[in-house]
Structure 1
Amino acid sequence: MACKGRGYPGRAAPSRRGGEWPTWVVAGAIYGGWLLLTFHAAALPWWLLLPAGAFITCWHGSLQHEAVHGHPTRSPRVNLALAWLPLGLWMPYEIYRDTHLRHHACPALTDPLEDTESYFVRERDWERMTGPRRLLLRLHQTLFGRLTLGPALAVVAFWGSEFRRARSGDLSNGGVWTRHVVGTGVVLVWVVLVCDMSVGAYVALFAYPGLSLTLLRSYAEHQPAAGKNRRTAIVLGGPISRLLYLNNNLHVVHHSRPDLPWHAIPAAFAARRGRYMAEAGGHVYAGYPTLLRRFLFRVRHHPVHPDHRFADI
């Protein structure tokens, strides 16, 4: 259970092969695109603004993921400054950074007691749940539920855990939250006072669907395979999804080489394709349309983790 402990100090050492200019280009495109979209939001129809806002917000989350792993510079402070602004509003970057690094340090991915990014529960907890809550967790294991209800469930669960932490007397995240509130204020001052967009409209057109797109990526990243191996998947994807997720769809490669910058991942995958396909243990998908066809209304996994079952369910 050490993976869920606080203060995991390590992070992947960044690779410098090929330079980091692609990440700087992406960062410029993200912030420039966000400024343009929000500033001209009133002139755009909602059906165009929503997918564009979702894409740019999700893309920013992918940039934050790069910063977590030490890109594009060797300076944690520079990377923090590049990724800190909370365009998605809901989670402080510094908390995401620390919990995600603990996820990488976890030897039992998907385990609800050990993995900070697990979507599964123990059977003993499942048995105590009400029928409606069980139904909600089952729905959450479909892509329809993950994309529509998933953002709300993620926010409620995260804020609830932070509230309980503070109420118990642990105020160690106080400074992080203070900085996050300042950053959120900067975002909302621009959105509301400069762009004349309501907070509700920004949440509906940028923040919520952006998190939904992020959850599309994470839906198939890991699976609770029996034992500790073959818990990380591969989604081959197309050029748009690979750019949106900065090649994190090739998730086996990322977990094997978390030091690699996003633009070096495809070459690493091509060089050892057979090995990585074997490591995925058959969990290889052609792209996200394939996942949507297979799991839009179908439960991919039971919410109870197989390592925490008393008996078959």
Structure 2
Amino acid sequence: MTAKRLILPSGAMQGVIGLALAAAIAGSWLGIHAYAMFVFELSWSNLPFALAMAAVQCWLSVGVFIVCHDAMHGTLVPGKPRVNAVIAAPLLFLYAGFRWRVLRDAHHTHHRLAGMPGDPDFDEDHPSNFRQWYWSFFKRYFGWQSLVFVHAVVGVYWLILGIPMVQIVLLYGAPALLSSLQLFFFGTYRPHHHAPGEPFPDDHNARTNGFGTLASLATCFHFGYHLEHHRRPDVPWWALPAAKRAGIAEQSGLIDTEGRIVA
């Protein structure tokens, strides 16, 4: 078949768009957290608003991680690896005490060995079991440093600042934990799990979802367009719908050194 060419903005424009979206996502995430912890006072009367705020914060937490994921591929600000690292490193630390280099290296290993032994995101012993795979995924990434960081934050908020524990759990702990589940289900398990009668189309061992653009944004910031991402890791998250429209997941043929299909 004749390949459709996916046209991306220039590197400079891609950086402008990426930085603007990153600022909106991370700024909203930090702003809601600050309001929820230091201004808002939880009560039975405003519980519905608190639950809505927690849901939005969960979604924004997913977005923050996807921004950092783009930085891992150098697509947040193309050609500026230091800028990508300077943005992503503090965001990952604030997310759950994660270390930038560790996650970046693990993610590149995932791309090299997707769905095979040695892939840190894949559970070769339970390739179809959501619960067991998530548990191994959680243990692999949420190590002792993350636990120390989270417990330190909770301790400061509760014991020093006097924020009620129920408010900390609802508006800090729950969004963080649920966002990890959301990221895992839509961005790892669903694209890479083994399903009878659903073979993978190539050695990326990934599939893409059939969601529309809005549902794709709501579930995982388009990361569910996962085969497109594996075939074109040079495409930032906000351009993955264009990659899907271009039929990247359906195309077959030679791929050049930048991941572009040429035949």
Q: The TM-score by the shorter chain falls in which range?
A: 0.5 to 0.7
CA–CA separation in structure 2 for the residues paired with 1:156 and 1:262: 26
Residue 227 of structure 1 deviates from its aligned partner by 10
In structure 2, the residue matched to 1:117 is 121
Q: Does the 8 A contact of 1:221 with 1:249 survive in 2?
A: yes
Does residue 256 (structure 1) correspond to residue 231 (structure 2)? The answer is yes
Q: How many residues align?
A: 223
Does residue 80 (structure 1) correspond to residue 85 (structure 2)? The answer is yes
Q: Does the 8 A contact of 1:253 with 1:269 survive in 2?
A: yes
Which AA in structure 1 matches 2:192?
A: H
Does residue 54 (structure 1) correspond to residue 58 (structure 2)? The answer is yes
CA–CA separation in structure 2 for the residues paired with 1:194 and 1:212: 29
CA–CA separation in structure 2 for the residues paired with 1:195 and 1:55: 27
Alpha-carbon RMSD: 3.7
After superposition, what is the alpha-carbon deviation per residue over 1:216-247, rounded to whole angstroms, capped at 9, x for unaligned? 21221114458963721011323344335332
Percent pairwise identity: 21
CA–CA separation in structure 1 for the residues paired with 2:72 and 2:149: 18
Does residue 276 (structure 1) correspond to residue 249 (structure 2)? The answer is yes
After superposition, what is the alpha-carbon deviation per residue over 1:143-162, rounded to whole angstroms, capped at 9, x for unaligned? xx48xx93x55333445xx6
Q: Trace 1:228-243 onto structure 2 (pairs within 5 A).
A: 229=203, 231-243=205-217
Q: Which of residues 154, 168, 183 in structure 1 aligns to 2:137? A: 154
Q: How has the CA–CA distance of structure 1 residues 197 and 61 changed in structure 2, closer, same or farther, with 3 Å as cutoff?
A: farther
Which AA in structure 2 matches 1:243?
A: L
CA–CA separation in structure 1 for the residues paired with 2:16 and 2:154: 30
Q: How has the CA–CA distance of structure 1 residues 75 and 51 changed in structure 2, closer, same or farther, with 3 Å as cutoff?
A: same
In structure 1, the residue matched to 2:101 is 94
Structure with higher RCO (Cα < 8 A, 6+ apart): 1
CA–CA separation in structure 1 for the residues paired with 2:139 and 2:251: 37
Q: How has the CA–CA distance of structure 1 residues 23 and 189 changed in structure 2, closer, same or farther, with 3 Å as cutoff?
A: farther
Q: Trace 1:162-241 onto structure 2 (pairs within 5 A).
A: 196=163, 198=165, 200-217=169-186, 218-224=188-194, 225=199, 229=203, 231-241=205-215
After superposition, what is the alpha-carbon deviation per residue over 1:240-268, rounded to whole angstroms, capped at 9, x for unaligned? 44335332211111111111222333223
Residue 277 of structure 1 deviates from its aligned partner by 3.1
Which AA in structure 1 matches 2:189?
A: Y
In structure 1, the residue matched to 2:15 is 20
- SS of the residue 1:51 aligns to: helix
In structure 1, the residue matched to 2:261 is none
- SS of the residue 2:192 aligns to: coil
After superposition, what is the alpha-carbon deviation per residue over 1:124-144, rounded to whole angstroms, capped at 9, x for unaligned? xxxxxxxxxxxxx69x824xx
Q: Does the 8 A contact of 2:115 with 2:204 survive in 1?
A: no
Q: How has the CA–CA distance of structure 1 residues 212 and 55 changed in structure 2, closer, same or farther, with 3 Å as cutoff?
A: same
In structure 1, the residue matched to 2:73 is 69
Q: Which ranges of structure 1 fall in alignment gaps of 5 or more residues?
A: 1-13, 122-136, 164-176, 280-313
> Structure 2-normalised TM-score?
0.68
